[in-house]
Amino acid sequence: MEASNVQLNDIALFVEVAKRKSFSLAARALDMPTSTLSRRINELERAIGLRLINRNTRRLDLTEAGAAYMRRCQGLIDEARLAHEQLLSLSGGPTGNLRVSMPYSLAIWLLPETINDFTDRYPEVECEFDLSMMTASDAQGTPFDVVLRFGRDTDYPLSTVDTGNGNGAAVPRSDGAVVQELVSLDNYLYASDRYLERYGEPKTPADLTQHQCLRTTIDDAHSHWTLHNGTVSESVPVSGHLAANNMSIAGTLAGLDLAITRMPHCQALDPIIKRNSLRRVLPGWSVDPISIYVVYPSSIQPAKTRAFMEFIKPKLGPTVD
């Protein structure tokens, strides 16, 4: 195969391997044998006359030529895929397998309220949800169309992007992925009636020091809550016997009369607050808002992705301007 005969399909195979830095992960995503994929990449390198990938038993790295080729080819492949998606959508709307990664807390709020309506509206889209909160190495090799995360989770590199002043602008990353702040949710304090009857209701932020407060983790970094009332802010040391990094579990524990907890407020959360008989504590005050970030594998979004995001945004709350 000469360079003039290089096929777009072979370039697409190279892009998949380069994105995942693994022949086996790319082969799995492409549903083809690893040996076949390796052979096709070898043929591409021979046709071009340059080595694109350095291989060894432990890792796969792009050569200088391979990195340059990847930068030029990824946009080409994304454009070709988008053209294919748009052509299919002309005949009947969004289609295909939509792969979404989101935290369990968000899934338990969002999916029961939305997924039935979404599948009714877009019957040709098959949805696959991953709630495992992948490790950094897993995240680099798993092909998701949409990744949703709370805040900027430093354990998950796809969302460790500073969006500046939080204006919701899409921020491209060096690997072609795009990170965007989707919504910023108001965050309030909640407790059950029985907890407040038993321990009394705090009247000021300083009163929280005398209460069981459910933190994310039991360490110094999470043992201060900053509360806001208009232009006034107060940082309060808090403590308690329990900690949980899952907001749905936090709501359940608060509903069992065990503590005061922080919970963001949005349409999807209302049923959980009602089910656990929670009400706001210190209603004039709020804690720091929590953001939901969305990560796309590239700046080009197929019809199925756009349809899903347009559908769920109103369910989460006002989008960031």
Tens of pLDDT along 26-68?
888 788 898 899 899 988 888 888 899 988 766 788 888 888 8
Domain range for residue 56?
A: 3-80
Q: In this structure, what CATH number is given to the domain that contains residue 50? A: 1.10.10.10
- Supply the pTM of this predicted model: 0.66
Question: Are 76 and 137 part of one and the same domain?
Answer: no
In a domain, 70, yes or no: yes
Tens of pLDDT along 97-144?
999 998 888 888 788 878 889 999 999 899 999 887 654 444 445 578
Give me the half-sphere count of Cα atoms (radius 13 Å) on the Cβ side of residue 154.
0
Question: Are 24 and 75 part of one and the same domain?
Answer: yes
Q: In this structure, what CATH number is given to the domain that contains residue 177? A: 3.40.190.10
In a domain, 321, yes or no: no
Q: How many domains does the chain have?
A: 3
Domain boundary residue among 80, 96, 124?
Answer: 80
Question: Are 283 and 198 part of one and the same domain?
Answer: yes
In a domain, 258, yes or no: yes
Q: Please, which pLDDT band fits residue 87 given cuts at 50, 70 and 90? A: low
